[in-house]
Amino acid sequence: MSKIGVFICHCGENISATVDVARVAEAAGQIEGVAFSTDYKYMCSDPGQTMIKQAIKEKGLTGVVVGSCSPRMHEPTFRKACQEAGLNPFMCEMANLREHCSWVHDKSEATTQKAIDLVRTLVEKVKLNKPLYSIKVPVTKTALVIGGGIAGIQASLDIANAGHQVILVERDPSIGGHMSQLSETFPTLDCSQCILTPRMVEVAQHPNIKLMTYAELEKLEGSIGSFKATIRKKAKSIDEDLCNGCGTCTTKCPTKKIPSEFNTGLGMRTAIYVPFPQAVPNKPVIDKENCSYYQKGKCKVCEKVCPTGAIRFDQEDELVELEVGAVVIATGFDIMQPSGFPEYGYGKYKDVITGLQFERLASASGPTLGEIRRPSDGKIPEKIVFVACAGSRDPAKGIPYCSKICCMYTAKHAMLYQHKVHHGKSYIFYMDIRAAGKNYEEFVRRAIVEDEVNYIRGRVSKIYEENGKLIVKGVDTLSSAKPVEIEADMVVLASAAVANPGAEALAQKMHVSYDSYNFFSEAHPKLKPVETNTAGIFLAGACQAPKDIPETVSQASGAASKVIILFSKDELSRDPLIAVVNRSPAPVFSTCVGCFMCASACPYQAIGEELITNRQGKVIKKVAKVNPGLCQGCGTCVAFCRSKSIDIQGYSNEQMCAEVIALLNHE
């Protein structure tokens, strides 16, 4: 005979404001098998927990139901409390009276009645709960970091320096990410590559870091502590051990007119190429789509000139399987192609460019060696217009959010322009200046006051070309919305920061959730900003939302420390809410008929065979057996089993039925 304790929480006023908690506790007391029932202002508080512990001891409770917030919030808290009082933690269940009741309904009889129903349902369930013992999993102390931008670099270095193994996977031929494309960085105007490249080299040389460039995640299985990752190493068509990075091949390659991704199409590269001089690793790859050998079957110039004979045309993609204990996603962001802006003529007029393209123009390593020259005719622009919020804060273009970094980099762009073109005039059309950050506001003021950048508050409606000039039709909303028309030589659009094109697919491979803009979702907006809702997978940088460098670096270190904390233990305990095949005494052994429908349905290949033999060792019966190490407890097998021989601990058929019945029969 079970003795259940029911504890109803007011959650301050959050529940008690719309639910008559006293009545809920009272009604719960009437339920058969309930030995104790009460309500209290804050069940999660110390006194609240003590109240539960005492009741368990004094009343000898066999099960506990806490009617309070969502189990996703406090289930661990209360289960721990029960454990401390000597009750098996899995004998404690929570009725969600806040998120699913008091917060979504108005104060009324029906609301209180619903609360009572929810509590009764869980009481009936907990009656059927069985003590469970968590499963121990060993921790593989190797971290997988996906993305080799500043976020991935920082996370890798931190984890590696803590003495753990790191595998850093980068999609492109070199690490460095967007930061390596930037000219100077706000608010200090120090050269981006000067501060980044040492870190890149450190990564390459670190004994604990295994670098895999030109590679992508193919598959991720398993769970926290013991993931199995499959990486696709795309064929670089060179033997990395033989190649010494002399660069002869890249200089000799006849196919020279390929728009360079690194220079955002403003410069050219060859078919066999190193994306940029400081690339890490500084070894080339062959771009098959553009290589005349792969396309037309002849050329092989690189092979002829290579002093070490490192070219491998027959090289194929390679799939590598890795055991890792944790994953850090640091895949960064992309910028919205302003082709969504017919009124601004991007793609139509050569001299309308994006902010990232301007970075390359301003960069000493860029196509113009740092001189601001417009793409169309190489002329130095006398008048330049910057358009902030090009795509951002623009629901009509599908991006209602603020990209956060544009205000600062646009101020920086204008500043750099003024420093390089002294007689030039620069204008920035903006809606608001968002410069919250250490020394940010001061930076913007400097641009306005000292560098005489002209800020005009208003959006641009149209940009068109008329005899060699770009006519920018804007407005000054701060002087009775006077229309402003500027004849500019060049226009820079601060195009919105968006999620990487591959983000959605990647999220699905790893089963982490993502928002409607395909940015990865953190586990809690405030208290778990680097965790995902999948244990053991963490977030760093702009893959979670637009971020500037300082923020990215701090989040990366945050993610790294989470990994290090995880690796500080040798084994983890996992919830035992997994599938089991029933066993019964001879001669039945199990109701399982060995059809293995379950095995075919299992997404984790967690179900194998078990042979039941008699004393003579003769096989009498073949039944299914769940491998507790692999089973994740989804329960798909349960729904498939026709003989009802397999069940999920904690979500058993019996328990679910009890819930259904309890929920429906209240009169």
Partner 1 sequence: MTEFEPKIIAFVCNWCTYAGADLTGTSRIKYAQNVKIIRFPCTGRIDFMLLLKSFGEGADGIIVSGCHPNDCHYTSGNFHARRRWIMFRGLLDMLGIDVRRIQYSWVSAAEGSKWADIVNSTVNTIRELGPYTEYEKVAGYLEKEANQ
Partner 2 sequence: MDKEDLSFKVRQDTGVNVRECYQCGKCTAGCPVGERMDLRPSVIMRMLQSGDRASEEEILRSNSIWLCLTCETCYSRCPMELDIPKVFDYLREKSYAEGKVNSQSSDIVTFHKSFLNAVERNGRLHEMSLILDYKIHSGNLFQDIALAPEMYSKGKLHLLPEHIKDKKGFARLFKDQFKKRKS
Partner 3 sequence: MKIGFYPGCSLTGSSREYNESLLAIAKEAGIELVEINDWNCCGATAAHNLNKELSLSLPARNLAIAEFEEMDELVVPCAACFNRLVMTQHELAEKEELKKIISEKLQMPLKNEIRILNVLQFLEKHIVPCLDLLVKSPLEFDVACYYGCLLVRPQNVMKSERFEDPMSMDTIMQKLGANPIDWPFKTECCGAGFSISKTEIVGELSGKIVRNATDRGAKAIVVACPMCHSNLDMRRSAIDNYLNMKMDIPVIYITQAIALAMGLSPRQAGIQRHFVPVNLTVNR
Binding site for partner 3 (CB under 8 A): 342-343, 345, 348, 462, 464-467
Residue 187 found at the interface with partner 2 (CB under 8 A) = no
CA distance 624 to 412: 65
What long-range pairs does 445-453 form, CB within 8 A, spacing at least 24?
446/415, 447/411, 447/412, 447/414, 447/415, 447/418, 451/414, 451/415, 451/418, 451/419, 452/418, 453/411, 453/414, 453/415, 453/418, 453/426, 453/427, 453/428
Smallest gap, in angstroms, from Cβ of residue 485 to partner 3?
12
Give me the least distance between CB of 441 and partner 2, in Å please. 21
Question: Tokens representing 256?
Answer: 């020279």
CB of 459 to partner 3, least distance (A): 15
The minimum distance between CB 89 and partner 1, in angstroms, equals 17
The per-residue b/e assignment along 570-596, b for 16 or more CB within 10 angstroms, e otherwise, is eebebbbbbbbbeeeeeeeebebebeb
Nearest-angstrom CA–CA distance, 388 and 408: 10
- Residues 237 and 239: their CA atoms lie apart, in Å, by 7
Shortest spacing between CB 505 and partner 1, in angstroms: 9
Q: Pick the stretch among 59-67, 133-141, 164-172, 467-475 that binds partner 2 (CB under 8 A).
A: 467-475
Nearer to partner 1, 15 or 385 (CB): 15
Q: Choose from partner 3, partner 2, partner 1, none: what does 636 bind? Cβ within 5-8 Å by kind.
A: partner 1
Neighbours of 102 (CB within 10 A): 26
**Residue 113's binding partner out of partner 1, partner 2, partner 3, none, with CB under 5 to 8 Å set by partner kind:** partner 1
3-state secondary structure of 499: strand
425 is an interface residue for partner 1 by CB under 8 A: no
CB 612 within 8 A of CB 587: no
- 481 contacts which partner out of partner 3, partner 1, partner 2, none, CB within 5 to 8 A by kind? partner 2
651 binds, among partner 1, partner 3, partner 2, none (CB under 5 to 8 A by kind): partner 1
113 binds partner 1 (CB under 8 A): yes
Nearer to partner 2, 393 or 583 (CB): 393
Where in 301-360 is the site for partner 2 (CB under 8 A)? 343
Query: Binding of partner 1 at residue 577 (CB under 8 A)?
Result: yes
**Tokens 């108005």, residue located:** 106
Name the phi and psi angles at 34, rounded to 5: -90, 120
Distance of closest approach, residue 469 Cβ to partner 2, in angstroms: 17
Q: What are residue 612's phi and psi, to 5 degrees?
A: -100, 120
Closest contact distance (angstroms) between CB of 96 and partner 1 is 7
64's CB contacts (< 8 A; 6+ apart) are 4, 5, 6, 7, 52, 56, 78, 82, 87, 91, 92, 93, 126
Instruction: Give the angle 324-79-91 at the CA atoms, nearest 5°.
Output: 110
Contacting partner 2 (CB under 8 A), which of 5, 458, 536, 635? 458
Q: Which segments of 380-521 are extended strands (E)?
A: 383-390, 425-430, 454-457, 462-466, 469-476, 482-488, 490-495, 497-499
Q: Does 401 bind partner 2 (CB under 8 A)?
A: no
d(CA 311, CA 271): 13
Q: Tell me: does residue 605 bind partner 1 (CB under 8 A).
A: no
One residue of 191, 212, 484, 656 binding partner 1 per CB under 8 A: 656
> In the window 378-397, what residues touch partner 2 (CB under 8 A)?
389, 393-397
Residue 475 interaction partner, one of partner 1, partner 2, partner 3, none, beta carbon < 5-8 Å per kind: partner 2
Please report which helix (H) or strand (E) contains residue 322, including its range: strand 318-324
Q: Tell me if 459 contacts partner 1 by CB under 8 A.
A: no
In DSSP terms, 92 is beta-bridged to: 64
The nearest distance, CB 481 to partner 2, in angstroms, is 4
Residue 465 touches which of partner 3, partner 1, partner 2, none (CB < 5 to 8 A by kind)? partner 3
Sheet order of strands, 318-324 included: 215-223, 226-233, 318-324
Taking CA atoms, 295 is separated from 234, 288, 563, 661, in Å, by 18, 7, 44, 67
Quick one: what does residue 516 bind among partner 3, partner 2, partner 1, none, with the CB cut-off 5 to 8 Å set by partner type? partner 1
Question: Alpha-carbon distance 385 to 345, whole Å?
Answer: 14
Of 67-86, binders to partner 1 (CB under 8 A) are 70-72
Binding test (CB under 8 A) with partner 1, winner from 45, 57, 58, 110: 110
Whole-number minimum distance, CB 499 to partner 2, in Å? 20
| Residue 314 contact, options partner 1, partner 3, partner 2, none, Cβ 5-8 Å cut-off depending on partner type | none
Q: Which does 76 bind (CB under 5 to 8 A by kind): partner 1, partner 3, partner 2, none?
A: none
Both tokens of 94, joined, read 């929570």
Q: Are strands 469-476 and 482-488 parallel, antiparallel or unpaired?
A: antiparallel
Closest approach of Cβ 427 to partner 2, in Å? 13
Nearest distance in Å: CB 494, partner 2: 14
- Count residues binding partner 2 (CB under 8 A): 24
Alpha-carbon distance of 509 to 232, in angstroms, equals: 13
Query: How many residues sit in the footprint of partner 1 (CB under 8 A)?
Result: 51
**Residues ≥6 apart with Cβ < 8 Å to 296:** none
Residues near partner 1 (CB under 8 A) are 70-72, 96, 98-100, 103-106, 108, 110-111, 113-114, 117-118, 121, 507-508, 511, 513, 515-516, 521, 533-534, 577, 601, 603-604, 632-636, 638-640, 648, 651, 653, 656-657, 659-661, 663-665
Residues near partner 2 (CB under 8 A) are 343, 389, 393-397, 431, 457-462, 473-477, 480-484
